[in-house]
């Protein structure tokens, strides 16, 4: 009997092979692709692997006006820098045909299911689908792998259909709408611009633009805070908080200054319990890693995925905050106790283990948890995320913490003041979670009727602040709250908005290009930016899983919506083309010319080079050369107020005007995206053959790409959604 097991990644195939047999042999195809063989008396098992998606969608007829008729083809045919995929496709085709049984052992989620399904259908042949079974596991431990092999389930065709529908939706929305937008600019301005719109990307950008407008429209309102500085290091606040009436603030301030002592009106000490946290789901882990370590959601997701493939943690792409009863929790804690640091905490847990769980569940996978296998070789960032998962896991079994609160009301010159203090009277779970803030205020020994000396009365004038900007973690939460995207794609969506330079900064600012694009689209084709439309399709994709709607019906509905949007674009082609072109031109402006015109990045066909020139040309002939590979920075030259640029090796900063005498200074290069291999920043580098894109994690991560390939890859990904 011959069996073929299809895995999602090479690291997974190795784990599965070694878990199923200590006699598993590693072999090579074409000197590049590893696969595994297990030979038993009556059975031969061959373990083959994909490298993520092996197949992608492409139009059957590229000359059609609208791309609705699609087919699956090997990924290397559609994406230039994925040529290595060819060997994996060929290995499956060579070794998988004619088996007696096929086993789908890719990650148990929609994407993993689709990866394995396509590998079986197009690599092993359609007949393999009649002989396929599914392994379902949440950790790559030997125990879980063997159990999933011995208790295989049927392939969930509804999960497959949901994955296929998602890819079709992402393609027909992304490619067709992006193509129509670019065509509108060409037809109106005879200029080609690379633009992208996506089913999820564009509504996400619209959310950020709405916040940007709130901030721009915000009018600050003055208010006053009255504070009393007392003995015992007490700072008491006027009990009614912010005072928006200046006259009233002056009255409170004057009255308070009349009394040199504060009279204690009441002292109330209360106790509250602080429950232990719930287990991490992916969004919770991303948010906590951002708050504690400053890691981007994409970086955290990549690290969590590595911890899973190495067998140290469970599958990360989960919405669940629950741990199943089948999980051997005491055994995991016992294994963690082999680490002396973790043992300090596990040894203090209650004998009766009862985890505090959240409300969210996920049919596919439990909450993120350590497997109990202790890692040996992890870098410092991976250790941080692993430690975060372990300490959160330990703390969910901890007892409730106890917090004492002291609220004191005071009278100062007939005005009411108050102060609060907090201290932790019982640490409980807080002792096991080093990332929590522990309240430890001192309680002054005072009682009702006591007098406390007033050292100073302060009146502080402040202004109300606009709504805060999103950061990457809070935007992930917002997308989850609005049901846009999926747990697996939200970090990618945000990373791609950075890549396209629509947004910038840790506190996310929308750049002129992104803001103007959304403004134009909302005015002339609002459905492109509609989160309601996106959300309804997300719900339809879930309904496919529950057999409440068919894949074909969802795709047909999407085609109708896309045709409606394309009709809007065509009807308003002139306005949209002008608007998008103007938005692009605005994004090219880098400063002001001395004549009053705008300094903007321009292209010289004669010299085939870019430069900065004045918008009032030919009346004003001010122009500055841009060295090859130079980046224009936001900072201004202190000497002449022109923008600074960076280039060279090592990279240095210079004034835009080469005649300016400001000395050059060292500079960290501008980030142009996120590394697809490790999640670190991608930056422009210079080599002997010119400019290229390289990972900032070099030499640990050696990912590189040509600028052209990166653009092509981004365009392809944007057109197939995952945006």
The Cα 502–Cα 723 span in angstroms is: 13
Whether 581 is catalytic is: no
DSSP string for 471-489: -HHHHHHHHHHTT-S-TTT
Q: Which helix (DSSP H) or strand (DSSP E) does residue 214 occupy? A: helix 201-217
Query: Of 88, 290, 315, 470, which residue is the catalytic one?
Result: 315
Give the pairing of strands 44-49 and 33-39.
Answer: antiparallel
Dihedral (CA of 232, 238, 240, 243) sign: negative
For the stretch 355-393, what's the b/e string if a residue is b when 16 or more beta carbons lie within 10 angstroms of its beta carbon?
bbbbebbbebbbbbbbbbbeeeebeebbebbbbbbbbbb
Report strand pairing: 222-230 vs 234-238. Answer: antiparallel
Provide the CA 625 distance to its chain's centre, in angstroms: 37
Cis geometry, peptide bond prior to residue 699 (ω within 30 degrees of 0): yes
**Distance of alpha carbon 185 from alpha carbon 673, whole angstroms:** 26
What is the Cα 637 distance to its own chain's centre? 34
Cα dihedral 311, 312, 315, 321 sign: positive
How many Å is the maximal CA-CA distance in the chain? 97
Whether the Cβ atoms of residue 296 and residue 673 lie closer than 8 Å to each other = no
Rounded Cα distance between 237 and 409, Å, is 10
Task: Evaluate the CA torsion angle 379, 385, 387, 390 in order and state its sign.
Answer: negative
Report CA-CA distances (Å) from 585 to 315, 520, 608: 45, 14, 19
Q: How would you label 80-116 residue by residue, b for 16+ Cβ within 10 Å and e otherwise?
A: ebbeebbbbbbbbeebbeebebbbbbbbbbbbbbbbb
The secondary structure of the chain in percent helix, strand, coil, rounded to multiples of 5, reads 40, 25, 35
- In angstroms, how far is the first alpha carbon of the chain from the final one? 44
Beta bridge partners of 29: 33
Could you give the 3-state DSSP secondary structure of residue 346?
helix
Q: Dihedral (C-alpha) 534, 536, 538, 542: value to the nearest 10 degrees? A: -170
Contact between 52 and 8 under an 8 Å Cβ cutoff? The reply is yes
In angstroms, rounded to a whole number, what is the distance separating the alpha carbons of residues 302 and 697?
Answer: 14
| Contact partners, residue 366, CB within 8 Å, separation at least 6 | 138, 279, 314, 318, 320, 322, 323, 324, 327
195, 517 Cβ separation under 8 angstroms: yes
Residues belonging to the active site: 315
């Amino acid at each position: 009997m011959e069996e073929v097991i299809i895995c999602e990644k090479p690291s997974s195939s190795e784990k599965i092979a070694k878990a199923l047999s200590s006699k598993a042999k590693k072999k090579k195809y074409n000197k590049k692709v590893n696969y595994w063989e297990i030979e038993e008396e009556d059975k031969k098992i061959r373990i083959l692997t994909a490298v993520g998606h092996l197949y992608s969608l492409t139009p059957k007829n590229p000359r059609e006006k609208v791309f609705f008729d699609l087919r699956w083809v090997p990924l290397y045919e559609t994406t230039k820098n994925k040529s290595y995929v060819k060997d994996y496709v060929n290995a499956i085709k060579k070794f998988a045909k004619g088996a007696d049984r096929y086993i789908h052992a890719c990650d148990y989620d929609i994407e993993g299911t689709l990866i394995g399904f396509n590998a079986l259908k197009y690599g092993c042949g359609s007949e393999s689908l009649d002989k396929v079974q599914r392994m379902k596991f949440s950790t790559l431990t030997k125990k879980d792998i063997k159990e999933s092999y011995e208790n295989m389930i049927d392939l969930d065709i509804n999960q497959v259909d949901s994955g296929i529908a998602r890819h079709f939706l992402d393609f027909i929305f992304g490619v067709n709408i992006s193509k129509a937008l670019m065509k509108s600019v060409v037809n109106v301005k005879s200029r080609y611009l690379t633009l992208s719109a996506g089913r999820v990307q564009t509504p996400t950008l619209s959310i950020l633009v709405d916040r940007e407008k709130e901030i721009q429209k915000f009018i600050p309102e003055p208010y006053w805070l009255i504070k009393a500085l007392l003995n015992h290091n007490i700072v008491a606040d006027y009990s009614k908080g912010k005072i928006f009436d200046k006259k009233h603030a002056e009255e409170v301030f004057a009255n308070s200054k009349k009394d040199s002592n504060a009279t204690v009106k009441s002292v109330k000490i209360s106790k509250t319990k602080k429950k232990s946290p719930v287990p991490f789901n992916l969004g919770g882990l991303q948010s906590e890693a951002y708050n504690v370590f400053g890691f981007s959601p994409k970086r955290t997701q990549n690290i969590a995925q590595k911890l899973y493939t190495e067998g140290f943690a469970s599958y990360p792409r989960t919405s669940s905050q629950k741990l199943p009863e089948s999980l051997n929790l005491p055994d995991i804690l016992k294994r963690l106790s082999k680490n002396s640091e973790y043992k300090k905490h596990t040894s203090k847990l209650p004998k009766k283990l009862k985890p505090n769980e959240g409300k969210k569940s996920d049919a596919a996978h439990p909450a993120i948890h350590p497997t109990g296998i202790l890692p040996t070789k992890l870098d410092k960032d991976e250790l941080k995320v692993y430690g975060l998962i372990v300490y959160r896991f330990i703390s969910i079994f901890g007892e409730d913490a106890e917090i004492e609160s002291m609220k004191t009301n005071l009278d100062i010159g007939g005005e009411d003041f108050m102060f609060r203090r907090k201290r932790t009277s019982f640490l409980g779970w807080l002792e096991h979670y080093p990332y929590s803030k522990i309240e430890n205020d001192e309680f002054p020994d005072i009682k009702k009727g006591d007098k406390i000396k007033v050292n100073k009365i302060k009146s502080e004038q402040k202004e109300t602040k606009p709504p805060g900007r999103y950061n990457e973690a809070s935007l992930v939460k917002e997308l989850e709250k609005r049901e846009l995207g999926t747990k697996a794609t939200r970090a990618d969506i945000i990373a791609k908005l950075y890549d396209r330079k629509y947004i910038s900064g840790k506190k996310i600012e929308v750049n002129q290009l992104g803001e103007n694009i959304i403004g134009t689209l909302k005015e002339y084709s609002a459905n492109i930016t509609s989160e309601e439309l996106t959300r309804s399709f997300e719900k339809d994709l879930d309904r496919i899983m529950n057999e409440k709607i068919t894949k074909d019906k969802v795709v047909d509905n999407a085609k109708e919506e896309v045709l409606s949007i394309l009709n809007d674009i065509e009807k308003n082609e002139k306005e949209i083309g002008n608007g998008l072109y103007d938005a692009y031109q605005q994004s090219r402006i880098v400063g002001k010319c001395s004549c009053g015109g705008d300094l903007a990045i321009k292209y010289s066909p004669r010299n085939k080079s870019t430069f900065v020139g004045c918008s009032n040309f030919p009346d004003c002939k001010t122009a500055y050369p841009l060295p090859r590979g130079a980046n224009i920075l936001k900072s201004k030259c202190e000497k002449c107020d022109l923008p600074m640029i960076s280039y060279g090796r090592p990279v240095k900063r210079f004034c835009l005007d080469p005649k300016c005498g400001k000395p050059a200074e060292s500079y960290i290069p501008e980030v142009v995206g996120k590394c697809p291999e490790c999640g670190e920043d991608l930056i422009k580098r210079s080599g002997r053959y010119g400019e290229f894109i390289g990972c900032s994690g070099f030499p640990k991560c050696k990912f590189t790409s040509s600028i052209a390939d990166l653009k092509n890859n981004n365009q392809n990904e944007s057109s197939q959604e995952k945006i």
